[in-house]
Structure 1
Amino acid sequence: MAAMRRPFRPPTPANVCSRWLHLVTGGMVAVVALFIRPEPGGHGPLELVRAALLSVPPLVLLGLVPVVRLAEGLQARLMLVPGRPSPHRDARRAELTAAPSASAADLARTVCWLVLRVQTGALTLSASVWLPLQTVRLAGRGDGYALLAPLPLLGLAAVVVGAGALVAAAARWLLAPSAAERIAALEERTERLMEHNRLARELHDSIGHALTAVVVQAGAARAAGSAAFTGQALAAIEETGRRALEELEGVLEVLREDSPQPRDRPALTDAARLLDAARGAGAEVTAEVSGPLESVAGPVSREGYRILQEALTNVVRHAGPVPVTVRIAVHGGTVELDIRNRLGDAGPVSGSGRGLRGIRERARLLGGRAEAGPDAGSWRVHARLPAAVG
């Protein structure tokens, strides 16, 4: 119902002017036809309309050229929906195609649009020339005819507004994106949303981990009261902040340039930096790595790194300086991550947090699985991922 009511909204001056120009531009095709094949009656309004009818066969041939649909769609977006970009205008412009014809139905609609645009444009152009002349003639006759002089101008305004509304409504049907184009646009939007969600997880994991490590290290340095320990903590804080800035720059580069992935994203082969950061925050980390980490597929290795990062961040944040056992194993076409730590004084970590949900989502998107929860007096995060992605 909203789409049906839209053509009947009160037009703005910008809409009226741009639609009139769009119509008159189409009507110029009839003017060209009139001069190529003059009508016996001269160049009057009726002759212009007849010339527009004679232009139908060439318009049919022109509409069968696929790129014409692209050109007409871009013109319609610019002239029928004028104004600066806004959510409302963007939605209305999205109703008009911006792609060449890809099917017989697209070609047929393009032909109908060209014929409608030229015929309506010829009528509008005739009215734009003939009706103002009638106003001048009535005003020049004197007597009571001068009182009728505004009527042709009112008629012209009605023709321009009505014809503009007609072509705007017709464009939303004849120049509407095809089903295949709508599906492609929906898939593109879905991919963009998935990319935004992935970037949000990247920021949560990398920056959240860095801030947690910095806070814990700074607190430990203040409590220790040792110049040597404070120096080590400050060095660790500096290194953690530098790495966080590098990762943040990579994520921002994706947002700025729309590149496929952040540059230099860390992978499981860089797990040592996570273990060192956790040790710097006071955790007693024991690590066991087996299997060829470099053979793991890039997406799996990068997501595995983020899973390990989130697990260690949770240990530092919720359990404090407790013993942690990390096992990373590559065997039988799978990557296994197992992180265990003794439960701290704060008790078990809630399994409904955003970080733990992110761990499960990462594993599930790769075709693996991840679990987190208490296990024999310890908190355990266990993930099993495929070493290769299909």
Structure 2
Amino acid sequence: MVDIVVISDTIVRPESYEDGSDRAKTIHLTPWDLSFLRTEYAQRALIFPKPDPETHMISQLKSSLSAALKIFYPYAGRLVKTHNEDDETASFFIDCDGSGVRFVHAAAVTVSVSDVLRPDNDYWSEFFPANGVKSWEGVSKPLLAFQVTELKDGVIIGFGYNHLVTDGASVWSFFKTWTEIFSTGRKEFPPLSLCGWFLGGIGYPVRVPISETVPSPSPSHGLVAASTLQKKIFRFTSRHVSELKAKANGEVGGSDNVSSFQAVLGHTWRSIIRNSGLGPEEVIHCKLAMDIRQRLNPPVEKECFGNMVGLATTTTTAGDMVGNGLGWAALQINKTVGAQTNEELRRFAEDWVKDPKIPNRLVVNNSLTVAGSPRRGGSTCMEGGAHAPYKFYNFCL
């Protein structure tokens, strides 16, 4: 445990909309959004040096956040659930009502940045503002929450966001805008572009069976509750990443088809399986959350706001994983990513609408799930045996 004192817990609302800008009042949710209904808020943290006291950090953070929320207005809304009694289904949408986001100011004056970065740090959750909050709770809780904790020699900004509303790409776009407002005072930005993607010929809001919108009473067979997982933190240096990429591509013919990220992921997956004690015939999976904006045809705008995340799954056996090298493992991931075509993504969405299934926030046995990839702008968080930041000062929970 660490001694953290909460100084204030407030709601920050967007600046008033007196400029006559045209903003969406309601945002309907797609299959990509709704599949996150039972997940917990995604949580990340950024670490900064201790600022000069003359900057009045907290007041400036709040005022610049208010200005950023005027641009990224969906974050300040709330989730709305409608019960369709005619067929016992539920529908969801985002009401952009300006209710605001949560802002916690805290202090841990006996804790240093080096303490926080220690691999055996077991008090991560205390720096985050949305522990255990499920996406469906956005009907009453803020869709975005921050906790600014002042340390002895630095500051941690931990934050959690509702994955029904946004993905990592949109979150980091928001952070870049907020940073610029804080640093320069600039407030003139292009209006927010919503992704606006929806299946042609499919009506919305999408109707989901009531049974799929409530928490499951107990874990299903073959599933492990996320709360039982151990957390491990480790780092890949630039040199290590380069060496892994060179080794992987060398093993597959030196064609440079394997990316740095795929090489690191292949290495991590192989390491987990080698130490798992699984039999050679057991089936294993690697599930990679990935940005699909540019994979649709026609593609949606690269910087559009929303949640455009698909799940690419690579499947093999423990025997094949152990019996083959790094290049083979990384190439399997590479092929899976390449198979995420417009046709495959649309097929998933069409099938999902016909029979909506919303998974629990659980981890399937023998499965490595990777989210928050740096290819989408964030850190790499791995579940099912590891919990790893890919960038040293950017953590996920």
| Class of the TM-score when normalised by the shorter of the 2 chains | under 0.3
User: Which has the larger share of strand?
Assistant: 2
Q: Which has the larger radius of gyration?
A: 1
TM-score, with structure 1 as normaliser: 0.22
TM-score after normalising by structure 2 = 0.22
Higher relative contact order (CA 8 A, sep 6+): 2
